Amino acid sequence: MIKTPRDAAAGSALDFVIQAPLIVREDLAVLAALTEAEDVEPLANAATEAYRLHNVQQYDGVEEACTATKYDCALVPQSRKLDRVHLVALDMDSTLITIECIDEIADMQGVKPRVAAITERAMRGEIDFRESLMQRVELLAGLPVAALERVYADRVRLSPGAQTMLRGFKTVGAKTLLVSGGFTFFTERLKALLAFDYALGNTLEIIDDTLTGRIAGEIVDAQSKARKFRQLADEHRGLEGLAVAIGDGANDLPMLAEADVSIAYHAKPTVRAEATHAIDYCGLDAVLNLFA
């Protein structure tokens, strides 16, 4: 359901952003009429096709029309400017990157179906994340560290538009945070590759270049991610600053709840329902179009 964003002041002017790999002109005309928009602005710099419908007066039935045509849509306040963003946090697995790392590590151990089933239940919020993580990591005992190197080299791929999005936020001076219930083996490499300012993840215990099946130190879970996000948001917040969080699974929900603007990226229904906006069809670069 389209909701009025929390960063919209009472009575503030609202725009409607529509984006997709391809938008049919006739559909755009229908949506402009439905919203009673003042005018339509093409977003020329968008990697995907995108339009901003200015000063919309109503949006009943608009989300349903966009869903039917597989267009991402969002109601955004005109006061939301890109240069107000001071912090952007991304989940790693299935958000910044296209895979769940633990599932691919498990494939190296021959237990991917068992691990993936637990991962899916945890993502939907059906089982406690901490318990699910310990169960999955235990199944990795005995795996050589070289298997992690192969997963990183052969299977880790950035989500479409990830670098464009990060570059856009860095241009305005925003700090970037990579958070994950996954592993520092991957978060630290991605932090270096993409110049994240901060990263948080779980550390796999390794003895004699072999996984023990245990986590070393405190477990990073949903609350840990939210605390780190809140700490950095408070540390870097300006007078009118915005903190943005992007995730896809149930263990991202506490962090998303802390954000001024929260975005569910190719996410589970429970996450889409709680986030400010959802991006289901476009890449991460589409996030930039939610800011003027």
Secondary structure (H, E, C), the chain: CCCCCCCCCCCCCEEEEEEECCCCHHHHHHHHHHHCCCEEEECCCCCCEEEEEECCCCCCCHHHHHHHHCCEEEEEECCCCHHHEEEEEEECECCCECCCHHHHHHHHHCCHHHHHHHHHHHHCCCCCHHHHHHHHHHCCCCCEHHHHHHHHHHCCCECCCHHHHHHHHHHCCCEEEEEEEEEHHHHHHHHHHHCCCEEEEEEEEEECCEEEEEEECCCCCHHHHHHHHHHHHHHHCCCCCEEEEEECCHHHHHHHHHCCEEEEECCCHHHHHHCCEEECCCCHHHHHHHCC
197 is catalytic: no
Residue 278 in contact with residue 266, Cβ under 8 Å?
Answer: no
Exactly one of 91, 103, 252, 260 is catalytic; which is it? Answer: 91
CA pair distance 141, 272, nearest whole angstrom: 35
91 is catalytic: yes
Exactly one of 15, 93, 260, 285 is catalytic; which is it? Answer: 93
> Any idea which residues carry the catalytic annotation?
91, 93
